[in-house]
Amino acid sequence: MDIIANYGTVLVLLAAFVGFLMAWGIGANDVANAMGTSVGTRSLTVKQAIIIAMVFEFAGAYLAGGEVTSTIRKGIIDSSAFVGHADVLVLGMIASLLAAGIWLIVASHYGWPVSTTHSIIGAIIGFATVALGSDAVQWGKTLGIVGSWIITPAISGLIAYFIFVSVQRFIFDTEDPLKNAKRFVPVYMFLTAFVISLVTLKKGLSHIGLHLSNGEDWLYSFLASLVVMIGGYLFIGRKQYNPSDDKDMGFANVEKVFAILMVLTACAMAFAHGSNDVANAIGPLSAVVSVVEAGGVIASKSSIAWWILPLGGFGIVLGLAVMGKKVMATVGTGITHLTPSRGFAAQFATATTVVLASGTGLPISTTQTLVGAIMGVGLARGIAALNLSVIRNIVVSWVVTLPAGALLSIIIFWILEALILS
């Protein structure tokens, strides 16, 4: 307990610094891949994507990121094992944040879209195993995570495949694709808005004191989506379309209609991601702050200090702006050639899968879900449309993420232990 009494402020400052680093890594990697489809399809420029991410990630993190966060990330470790070892928990959380942050920044440098969720979970498992033995880890949860590597990309890939096929059937393979695009794209807008509203209401807003029943969630989502659909009809109807554009590229005007939809899905993905993953990253930071503030007492829940959410939001935005371009390029153009209609199918499938998974409590990765969806869209055009060498690199980086997080965390934890506890 002495280190908490003697070095409390230093530990909080150190945790804040590594928490900021982790948020930077999330911006450079996770947010970049969420925005990659919109940039890859040229629906948004990199600058516009960064501005949208700034506004909506920050809004998602701050409005829906949570008053209360579980101090121990997703129940991966048994907090009761740390009673009487608060100093170990504090150092372990700092080591985990630094390890996950370093891995995300390395992955972003090479343009690999990896999972922030799995980086931090791997890191926490690593330090807990070394500090207190394997009994401190709830291994059943870990198996669920490994299973989600296969399940979630498969589900999102399947949804993306069928959405893309429906777009082909109802719009592209018809006598008048532009007329049908104007008719059906607002319906897709309705579906997108519905899924995103449902994610936000179910996952986010309970934190700011809005506790809605299941029926109310569905009703408000339906009404919000209806407004978006009507707005979509009016906006698409008023937009000018130049028939000569179609001579250069067969469906240029139809893709223009889908580009409007892509901007909507980009805003929505950023908000949903902000509300969900940002809170995940700052969980270990708020654990450190609460243990230090309580003088070494470990609470099962901790309220988040006022400065933590803005710190996370700010770190994410900077990480995206400075380092996000490489991951955006991998997701947006590396896996398969994306147009706005294909990008929409991928983003819609991702959002839907996240909703389904959050309902079942599966610890899923937004990154893997999106990459699976993009593969699904590519497969709808035949296996030749996929860049298999890029996919191989991505899958290898996924498998390496948990052990890499664990190994880095163990090394950093040992160094911290030697420096501070000895």
Domains in the chain, number = 1
Residue percentage of the chain with pLDDT more than 70? 86
Instruction: Give the contacts of 410 (CB within 8 A, at least 6 positions apart).
Output: 95, 126, 127, 129, 130
What is the reported pLDDT for 378?
A: 84
Question: Do the Cβ atoms of 22 and 104 come closer than 8 Å?
Answer: yes
The structure's pTM equals: 0.80
What is the reported pLDDT for 219?
A: 92
Dump pLDDT digits (tens) for 274-308: 766 776 677 788 878 888 887 777 766 666 777 88
| Predicted confidence (pLDDT) at residue 5 exceeds the cutoff of 80 | no
Question: Do the Cβ atoms of 398 and 178 come closer than 8 Å?
Answer: no
- C-alpha–C-alpha distance, residues 322 and 155, integer Å: 32
Backbone angles phi, psi at 242, to 5 degrees: -105, 110
Dump pLDDT digits (tens) for 40-86: 888 888 888 888 888 888 777 776 665 434 544 456 777 777 777 78
* Tokens (6 digits) for 13: 């400052």
Question: Do the Cβ atoms of 207 and 68 come closer than 8 Å?
Answer: yes
* Tokens (6 digits) for 314: 């700010």
> For tokens 């630094």, what's the residue?
98
Q: Which domain holds residue 374?
A: 1-421
What is the reported pLDDT for 65?
A: 60
Question: Do the Cβ atoms of 51 and 35 come closer than 8 Å?
Answer: no
| Predicted confidence (pLDDT) at residue 222 exceeds the cutoff of 90 | yes
| Predicted confidence (pLDDT) at residue 382 exceeds the cutoff of 90 | no
Question: In a 3-state reduction of DSSP, which class is residue 301?
Answer: strand
If one compares 334 and 15, the residue with the highest pLDDT of the two is: 15
Residue percentage of the chain with pLDDT more than 90? 16
Dump pLDDT digits (tens) for 322-358: 888 888 877 777 777 788 888 888 888 887 787 677 6
Helix ranges (H only) for 85-213 are 86-109, 116-132, 139-167, 177-199
